[in-house]
Amino acid sequence: MTQFSFELDAMDSATAARAGRWTTPHGTVNTPAFMPVGTLGTVKGLLPAQLREAGTRMVLSNTYHLALRPGAEIVAELGGLHRFMDWDGPILTDSGGFQVFSLAGMRKIDDDKVVFRSHIDGNLLELTPEKAVLIQEQLGADCIMCLDECPPSGESLEKIGKAVDRTTAWARRCRDAQRRSDQALFGIVQGGVHPEMRQRSAEGLLPLDFPGYAVGGLSVGEPPLVMYQILDRTVPMLPVQKPRYLMGVGRPEDILEAVCRGIDLFDCVMPTRNGRNAMAFTSQGPVRIRNAVHMRDEQPLDPECDCTACVRYSRAYLRHLFIAREMLGPILLSLHNIAFYQRLVRQLREAILQGCSADFRANQLARWNRQS
């Protein structure tokens, strides 16, 4: 793992927030950092150059989906995922563990493996921990994830305990199966909304000495306050000198709260999914651009944003694009939302460096709440 390093530039004494630098074979990522989701090797509707322009330094893709199409072997033959999708920055690939949760009706699971019924053509895809690592090694991402079981938040304590133990056993198998030294393999702490299960998971994973740790199984239906309480209990158990990744989160306010609890990395489909559905995140709160109030509105989408959507176009024009069902509308709002998220984590980093992350959080939440 000599191609990886994680250095802390600052830790805010008023919160648990950290500002760091995570060096990977494809560049250094300043943390806190947000990764747009490019499940199939593309962030929907956006070119890599547009992602760069919006401030993105790292993206996420998905093992399960890329294994189905075009196939990990094909990606490897064509030079790996970086070359395939024309992205020269760091990439993280999820192991397919989230699909254990999201595609529960299309899979069978036991202690050895998960077998999925493809949502595309009905063919079977078998994922063992060893196979999940092999696929990710073929894809060639900088950061790869252990295969895990993500249980629903309302699952029984007994079943969550079984999922935790299975996740730990699979993590050991993933570690033992890894062959490439230019990929950082992260363990994933599970345990639902039960602090004792989170502790059980962390205690099983920490001896495996992964180069980074993720917190999985949150933002799957539990109230935000419960998520924050679980982070309060879980994050302090994770190594200080290694990156911490909160999977699949989320809302801007959740990122604020999680950073102030010591999380470094985030991913979520929310910026692009909401953008495609005419909802923009702005410094003044969410804007639903289809609303008739914007029909003649000449002001920019967000006066504090310098993205193309805000600098060149009015709210009236953006609304027109959605009403007319022109594809440019979803593209511009997706681009804007990514820029918003990247600006948020940059401002958070600066606040941490200045020792004022608590004030920054309070001020941001107050601004957004005034508009809601």
Active site residues: 94, 267
Cβ contact 92:142 at 8 Å:
yes
Distance between CA atoms of 178 and 187, rounded to whole angstroms? 13
Distance between CA atoms of 305 and 315, rounded to whole angstroms? 13
The pair of three-digit structure tokens given for residue 195, joined into one six-digit string = 């602090």
Cβ contact 332:309 at 8 Å:
yes
Which of 54, 46, 58 is CA-nearest to residue 311? Answer: 54
| CA distance readout (Å), 94 to 25, 62, 228, 367 | 18, 5, 23, 34
209 backbone φψ class: left, alpha, beta (φ>0; ψ -120 to 50)? left
Distance between CA atoms of 5 and 241, rounded to whole angstroms? 9
Q: Which residues pair with 185 in a beta bridge?
A: 144
Distance between CA atoms of 100 and 111, rounded to whole angstroms? 13
Which of 335, 345, 288 is CA-nearest to residue 307? Answer: 335
Distance between CA atoms of 215 and 201, rounded to whole angstroms? 10
Distance between CA atoms of 229 and 148, rounded to whole angstroms? 22
Q: Is 42 exposed, middle or buried (0-12, 13-18, 19+ CB in 10 A)?
A: middle
Residue 104's CB is within 10 A of a number of other CB atoms, namely 13
Task: Kindly report the backbone phi and psi dihedral angles of residue 32, in degrees, each rounded to the nearest multiple of 5, phi listed first.
Answer: -65, 150
**Beta strands 59-62 and 33-36, pairing class:** unpaired
